[in-house]
């Protein structure tokens, strides 16, 4: 192999390692959670979770999220409707459930909501989330 070919290999190898390391990060719950948030939730709750005026409540720094930690999985899967107060503002809208998300995706999404958007130290593990999902109360066709 001549020198030029060698250096091309080195560059390729470095690039590949870079990609692998970068990809591996995606398996961290909050990274997958953030991606899912951007894809499934940000269109309404906005990019940083700040909500939209009196139409869409915030999910970042939101008292509702912190007070209803254990309901989040059910809210995400089955939706929620009717009057609610978030950070002192009343909302009376409707959010449809997201049935595309798996239990693990919901877990990662909630991790992102609690830890990154609401500075909570504690978060759930997958068995907690599964138990919550089995026990969703405000939904009739579960
Ligand atoms: C089509 C718009 C829309 C999408 C998409 C959406 N939501 Fe909502 N969400 C709402 C509305 C509207 C409410 C308020 C419902 C009410 O007033 O009863 C709400 C309420 C909530 C609440 C409870 C109130 C609060 O802000 O703390 C949480 C938590 C929540 N959404 C999380 C999510 C997550 C996580 C996703 C992504 C999986 C998501 N939402 C996707 C519109 C949406």
Percent of the chain at pLDDT exceeding 90: 73
pLDDT at 137: 74
**Ligand 1 proximal residues by C-beta, below 6 Å:** 40-41, 43-45, 56-59, 62, 64-65, 72, 75-76, 80-82, 84, 86, 91-95, 98, 109
Residue minimizing CA distance to atom 28 of ligand 1: 59
pLDDT at 9: 76
What 55-60 contacts at long range (C-beta under 8 Å, 24+ apart), as own/partner pairs, is 55/91, 55/93, 56/91, 56/93, 57/84, 57/86, 57/87, 57/89, 57/91, 58/86, 58/87, 59/113, 59/117, 60/117, 60/118
| pLDDT level of residue 22 (50, 70, 90 thresholds) | low
DSSP code of residue 112: I
Domains identified in the chain and CATH numbers: 29-134 (1.10.760.10)
Please state the atom number of ligand 1 nearest to the C-alpha of residue 72.
29
Q: Is the pLDDT of residue 13 over 90?
A: no
73-90: average pLDDT: 97
Kindly report the number of other CB atoms within 10 A of residue 57's CB atom: 24
Average pLDDT over the chain, rounded to an integer = 88
């Amino acid at each position: 192999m001549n020198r030029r070919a060698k250096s091309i290999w080195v560059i390729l190898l470095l690039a590949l390692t870079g990609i692998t390391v970068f990809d591996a990060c995606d398996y961290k719950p909050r990274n997958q959670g953030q991606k899912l948030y951007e894809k499934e939730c940000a269109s309404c709750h906005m990019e940083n979770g700040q909500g939209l005026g009196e139409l869409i409540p915030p999910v970042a720094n939101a008292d509702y999220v912190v007070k209803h930690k254990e309901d989040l999985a059910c809210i995400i899967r089955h939706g929620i409707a009717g009057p609610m107060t978030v950070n002192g503002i009343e909302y009376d809208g409707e959010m449809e459930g997201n049935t595309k998300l798996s239990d693990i995706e919901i877990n990662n999404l909630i991790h992102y909501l609690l830890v990154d958007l609401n500075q909570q130290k504690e978060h759930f593990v997958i068995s907690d989330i599964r138990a919550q999902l089995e026990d969703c109360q405000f939904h009739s066709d579960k």
